[in-house]
Homo-oligomer: A and B are copies of this chain.
Amino acid sequence: MKVLIIGGGGVIGQKLARKLAHRGHLRGAEIAHMTLADVVNPAPITAGFPVDVVRVDISDRASVDELIAGRYDVIYLLAAIVSAHAEEDFDAGMNINLFGSYHVFEAVRALGTKPVIVFSSSVAVYGGEVPDPIEDHTFLNPQTSYGTQKAIGELLLNDFSRKGYFDGRGFRLPTISVRPGKPNRAASSFMSSIIREPLNGEEAICPVGPDFMHPYLSPRKCVENLILGTEVAAEDLGQNRCMMMPGRAWSIQQLVDAMTRVAGPEPAKLIKWQEDAAIQAIVNGWRYDLNAQKALRLGLSADDSFEDNVSYYIEDDRP
């Protein structure tokens, strides 16, 4: 069993790699080798099997061909230009999110190895003219370039899978919170910052009001769901291999209250409430009333409470 994680330097990529290293097996086979690929060299991982780290630019087909030539059994495609970045830099979003995914799918097809490919899509594929709640069979009407590129990735994943070129599974991730590390260029970045920075004793800016609703998932649960999604039987996926990953919607106020219940009253005082029209223009197009029936039926799950998300950050990630 050879595993490749594209986007292996990212928060989820690294946590997934460490979890797989700890676990040692996947889809009923021992992991013999793992490669972490990213646009900058990913941090190395200690495991009971060899782990390579490689640099790859997925917008470059030749570079992707060279990577895929490693003949992996399971490929995680987690690399992306995130939402606000893709909105600012249209070409970067298209080149990485659309053509990058296409290059991986085409390289796999050309090699003929038919691996399992697990693709991280996003709830940003939803938006626009569709009624609530969002169901598995709700039209994808994304209102960002990032959401558009992810929706296209899903269509390609489904068609390449239908043709038998690989066994694809796509999961629309809710916003991952509490995400460790630094803020990034996702419009949703504040949805971790307003918890993470205060828990680290630092100030954070909240660009939306306390009533803003959004679906969340902890990184720990996300990794568990990705592994479950890798192991589910192909015949249980049906004609649409992409689905929502379960999350749970809370208001910003509920997030802050959960933090206070776990860590006391001091962190919440470090949040600066400062509305930002550019961020709001993106995030107000996102939907939160999501019914992840298919994934729930397959055994994936959401966090029980946001207190869990806060506790996981403190246990797993706080410096």
Contact B239 A129 (CB under 8 A): yes
Q: Which one of A129, A131, A138, A139 has the highest number of Cβ atoms from chain B below 10 Å of its Cβ? A: A139
Contact A155 B139 (CB under 8 A): no
Contact A163 B145 (CB under 8 A): yes
CA distance A240 to B140 in the complex (A): 10
Residues of chain A at interface, number, CB under 8 A: 27
Query: Is A303 part of the contact surface with B, judged by Cβ < 8 Å?
Result: no
Q: Which one of A127, A128, A137, A159 has the highest number of Cβ atoms from chain B below 10 Å of its Cβ? A: A159
- Measured CB to CB, the closest approach of chain B to A147, in angstroms, equals 8
B-side contacts of A240, CB under 8 Å:
128-129, 139, 141
Question: Nearest chain-B residue to A238 (Cβ)?
Answer: B129
**Interface set, chain A 221-238, CB cutoff 8 A to B:** 238
Contact B239 A143 (CB under 8 A): yes
Query: Is A90 part of the contact surface with B, judged by Cβ < 8 Å?
Result: yes
Query: Is A301 part of the contact surface with B, judged by Cβ < 8 Å?
Result: no
Number of copies: 2
Contact B139 A159 (CB under 8 A): no
Query: Is A156 part of the contact surface with B, judged by Cβ < 8 Å?
Result: yes
Which one, B90, B127, B137, B239, contacts A131 given CB within 8 A?
A: B137
CA distance A128 to B243 in the complex (A): 14
Residue-wise interface mask of A (127-160) relative to B, using a CB-CB cutoff of 8 A (1 in contact, 0 not):
1111100001111111101001001100110110
Contact A162 B139 (CB under 8 A): no
B-side contacts of A155, CB under 8 Å:
140, 142, 148, 151-152, 155
State the 4 A-B residue pairs at the shortest beta-carbon distance, nearest first: A128-B239, A148-B159, A137-B139, A130-B137
A to B CB contacts below 8 Å, 29 in the list: A90-B163, A127-B239, A128-B238, A128-B240, A129-B137, A129-B239, A129-B240, A130-B137, A131-B137, A137-B138, A137-B141, A139-B139, A139-B240, A140-B155, A141-B158, A141-B240, A142-B155, A142-B158, A142-B159, A143-B162, A143-B239, A145-B159, A148-B155, A148-B156, A148-B158, A148-B159, A151-B155, A152-B152, A155-B155
Residues of A within 8 A of B (CB): 90, 127-131, 136-143, 145, 148, 151-152, 155-156, 158-159, 162-163, 238-240
What 17 additional pairs, Cβ within 8 angstroms, besides A129-B137, A136-B139, A152-B155? A90-B163, A128-B240, A129-B238, A129-B239, A129-B240, A130-B137, A131-B137, A137-B139, A138-B139, A139-B240, A140-B155, A141-B239, A142-B158, A143-B239, A148-B156, A148-B158, A152-B152
